[in-house]
Every structure is written in structure tokens, then in C-alpha cells.
A and B are shown apart, each in its own frame.
Chain A
Amino acid sequence: MYLQIIEQIRERVAVGDWARDAEIPSIRQLAVALRVSVITIKRAYFELEREGVIVTHHGKPSRVAEAPNLEKLRDEDLDQHLDRALHIGALLGLSPDELAERLERAAKRRNDEEQA
């Protein structure tokens, strides 16, 4: 469950709802607001601090990091999806080149949809 909270918070930081270096809710405040347990938020904050997205100080309000390193996280996320795509591709007997072709087709389709 804390993984879902982490994803929500990363998203808020990414779109700027939680601005850089801004104060963020205390663990208990956020637990009440999201109706989840204190331990879940605590765990999420702990992981987010390790990732460099937020900064926590004992006895002081937690804040968004001055330079939250979301690009690196997105990068790792992308790598995982690419690994997965390779795995499924292998099951379908597709070579990496054929996969790359599929990716280009997907990009074109998306582009067409956005134009329409």
C-alpha cells in the first residue's frame, strides 16, 4: 500500500502540486487526509527520502527536496518497462529490431491520435 502512496507523492511533486522546497503535511496529517495508517505514510516518507524526493528532519516539518531527482526514478522505471517488453517480445519470438519497429509504430499511432 505504501507503494501507491509513494507513486501519488512522486506525481504531486512531478506536476508541481507539491512545489520544490515546500513544506509537506506531517505523517499524521496525511494519514488522516488519505484515510490510511500512520505506518504506511511513515514507510512512504522513508522511501521517498532515500530516493531524494523529500527531506525529513526530526522535530521539523518535512519538505520537498530542493532538487527532487525524479528524472533518475523515471529512468529506472523506463528500464523496468523495457525489460518487461523484451521479455514479452521474446515470448512472441520478436527480435530487438522488430520490437524497435513496434515502438515506432506505437509512437506514430499516438501522434496520429493527438492530431485527430
Chain B
Amino acid sequence: MTGSAVSLAGVGKDYKHFTLDDVSLELPQGSIMGFIGANGAGKSTTIRILMGLIHQDRGTVRVLDNEMPAGQVAAKREIGYVSDDMRLYPSATIAWHMSFIASIFPSWDATYAAELVRRFDLTPDQRIKGLSHGQRVKAALLLVLARRPRLLVLDEPTTGLDPIARQEVLGALIEVLADERRTVLFSSQNTMDVEQISDRITFIDRGRIVASDDKENYLDRWRRVRFEIPEGATVTAVPGMLDLRGSGRINVVTVPNFTDATLPLLQATGASITAVEPMSLEEIFLCTVKNRREGVLA
């Protein structure tokens, strides 16, 4: 059976200056979800709620068949969690941390741990305080990956990493999914990382979910359309299309819900279509945030 590894329904949390509202999402077992949003959008708050680290004011949270926060002790045995504010012991070595985790979690895989040490280019005898930021992130990831947890929850695992370290980390995350019983949720500000490795995308802005969907479906709905209008004509705005730009005859418009009916609608205004282009997640992200803040998009 492949159910949901993570399921949030109508989750909310009120702070003095920030409200997380009506957050609902489903993460099927065996998939990777990329969680994107600007700084302060609510990514970390959502992740802390699903980890049981803070308690929601409303809504239900289920993680690996445990109601959260009540079932957090049972859930955490099978979750590997890494975030920036987690501290390793500065004066202990990587090897010390590895044997410490191995003594707590019976699922520790020493062979896999040794392989990750090699692939992440780490030195086990090195003390944590002597590590660079990238090495620290990789060490923390190694410590959870080698436990082979059913669910990995990673808060911005690639932030601050150089391109080589980023690809090492993304490669290791994809490999987790070779086992279809395992699931990954990671947040990121880097849309390229999310676009590369995610099966599902959840997009949060100002404490609300903007979209939570299959990645390819989501990308497929967005198109940039280039078109020309007859000389002397003025361009007509079509409802539902965004960011109409152009000067003179050549124009560009962004379509958030591209269907077979889109081009005929434009052609009916006298436009002749010159190109229909797919958009990157980065472009979609920027367009969505901008139009939401201007009140154009809900």
C-alpha cells in the first residue's frame, strides 16, 4: 500500500506578526516534495509543525500514520530531520557523532555511512568546529541518511552550499528514492534544486499555500506566449493572462492556466501567435509572488 507519508489538513498557527493559515498538503510515500517560498513565507513554521516541534492552533497533521503532535515520539524514530539550527558538538569528531547515532538507532547502516563519508569528501577524524559550512551540512545529512529513515525532512539543505556540494547532496537525496517506501520533504529557496529533483511542489507565500501539485503538471500549466498584432492595432487584455508586455506589434503574455482554449482566445483579439514557451520554476515563482503582492492573483 502506498499512502501518504505526510498529510496536513487546514493547519494554522497564529503569531503576533505572522499567520500560517489553512495549510493543506499530501506527500505520497516514495516521492520527493520540494517546498518553496521566499524568506518568512512559512516554510520553517510548517516543517516545525509537522515535526511536532511547535503545535498548530488548528487543523490536523499526520506523519507516518501518527497524529502530530501527540504521536511525535513514535514518528521521530522513523524521521530524519536536518535544519540549520541543529547543532553538532563542536569539540567532537564526525566519527564520534557517527558512533553516537549508531548506538541510538538500530537501523544505522555503517557501510552506507562509510560510502557517504567518501562521497561527501569528509574526514571522520575532523572535529566539528574545524568544518566549513558545507562540510557541516554534509556531516549532518550523513548522520540522518545512514539511519535510512522512512521520512527525511530537510529544512533548506542546499542553502549556502557551493555547486559541487549541492550536486552531491541532491544526488544523495535522489538515491534515497531508489527505495520506493522512503519519502523526502525538503524546503529550499533555490528553485533550480526543486525543479531538478522534486516529484511534487508545494509553494507557500505569506503563510498560505499557493500551489501543491505534481511538478510536471504544475510546470505544464504555465506558458509564455509571444504574439504579434496588426499594425496600428492596440493590444487587448485577455482575462486570466498576466504580465502583458510589449511595444508596438510584438507582445508577450504569461498564461498561468494554459489549455487548448488559450490560443483561440488570443487569436480572437486579432493576435497572431509566434511562439509558445515553457517556463522555468524560477520564472513561475517570481511571476506568482509579484502578482499576488499586487493583488492580481489570489
A interface vs B, CB < 8 Å?
1-3, 28-29, 31-32, 35-40, 43, 87
CB distance from A5 to the nearest CB of B (A): 11
In the complex, whether B21 has a CB less than 8 A from a CB of chain A is: no
Known contacts A1-B219, A2-B216, A87-B274; decide if A37 and B197 are in contact (CB<8 Å).
yes
Residues B219 and A37 in contact, CB atoms below 8 Å apart: no
Residues A39 and B195 in contact, CB atoms below 8 Å apart: no
Using Cβ atoms and an 8 Å threshold, which residues of chain B touch A39?
31, 198-200, 214-216
Q: Within the complex, which residue of B178, B199, B278 is in contact with A32, where a contact is CB–CB below 8 Å?
A: B178
Using Cβ atoms and an 8 Å threshold, which residues of chain A touch B32?
37-38
Number of A-B contacts (CB under 8 A): 49
State in angstroms the CA–CA spacing of A116 and B174 once bound together. 47
State in angstroms the CA–CA spacing of A35 and B196 once bound together. 8
Using Cβ atoms and an 8 Å threshold, which residues of chain A touch B165?
none
Q: Within the complex, which residue of B30, B196, B214 is in contact with A36, where a contact is CB–CB below 8 Å?
A: B196
Using Cβ atoms and an 8 Å threshold, which residues of chain A touch B175?
32
State in angstroms the CA–CA spacing of A68 and B84 once bound together. 49
12 A-B pairs in the complex with CB atoms less than 8 angstroms apart: A3-B278, A28-B180, A31-B174, A35-B167, A35-B174, A36-B196, A36-B197, A37-B197, A37-B198, A39-B215, A40-B216, A87-B274
Using Cβ atoms and an 8 Å threshold, which residues of chain B touch A87?
274
State in angstroms the CA–CA spacing of A36 and B193 once bound together. 10
Using Cβ atoms and an 8 Å threshold, which residues of chain A touch B219?
1
State in angstroms the CA–CA spacing of A51 and B21 once bound together. 44
Number of interface residues of B (CB under 8 A): 23
Using Cβ atoms and an 8 Å threshold, which residues of chain B touch A32?
174-175, 177-178
In the complex, whether B90 has a CB less than 8 A from a CB of chain A is: no
CB distance from B180 to the nearest CB of A (A): 7
Residues B200 and A31 in contact, CB atoms below 8 Å apart: no
The 3 closest A-B pairs by CB, nearest first: A39-B199, A43-B216, A37-B199
Using Cβ atoms and an 8 Å threshold, which residues of chain A touch B178?
28-29, 31-32
Taken residue by residue from 145 to 180, chain B's Cβ proximity to chain A (1 for < 8 Å, 0 otherwise) reads as 000000000000000000000010011001101101
Residues B170 and A35 in contact, CB atoms below 8 Å apart: yes
State in angstroms the CA–CA spacing of A43 and B217 once bound together. 10
Residues B200 and A38 in contact, CB atoms below 8 Å apart: no
State in angstroms the CA–CA spacing of A87 and B177 once bound together. 45
State in angstroms the CA–CA spacing of A111 and B167 once bound together. 42
CB distance from A85 to the nearest CB of B (A): 14
Residues B216 and A38 in contact, CB atoms below 8 Å apart: no
CB distance from B192 to the nearest CB of A (A): 11
State in angstroms the CA–CA spacing of A5 and B167 once bound together. 18
State in angstroms the CA–CA spacing of A37 and B177 once bound together. 9
Q: Which of A1, A2, A31, A37 has the most CB of B within 10 A?
A: A37
CB distance from B142 to the nearest CB of A (A): 18
CB distance from B157 to the nearest CB of A (A): 15
CB distance from A87 to the nearest CB of B (A): 7
Q: Within the complex, which residue of B167, B180, B215 is in contact with A40, where a contact is CB–CB below 8 Å?
A: B215
State in angstroms the CA–CA spacing of A38 and B195 once bound together. 12
Residues B177 and A28 in contact, CB atoms below 8 Å apart: yes
State in angstroms the CA–CA spacing of A31 and B179 once bound together. 12
Q: Which of B171, B180, B197, B278 has the most CB of A within 10 A?
A: B197
Using Cβ atoms and an 8 Å threshold, which residues of chain B touch A31?
174, 177-178
CB distance from B55 to the nearest CB of A (A): 32
CB distance from A25 to the nearest CB of B (A): 11
CB distance from A114 to the nearest CB of B (A): 32
Known contacts A1-B195, A1-B219; decide if A35 and B171 are in contact (CB<8 Å).
yes
Using Cβ atoms and an 8 Å threshold, which residues of chain B touch A43?
216
**A26, closest chain B residue (CB):** B178
CB distance from B218 to the nearest CB of A (A): 10
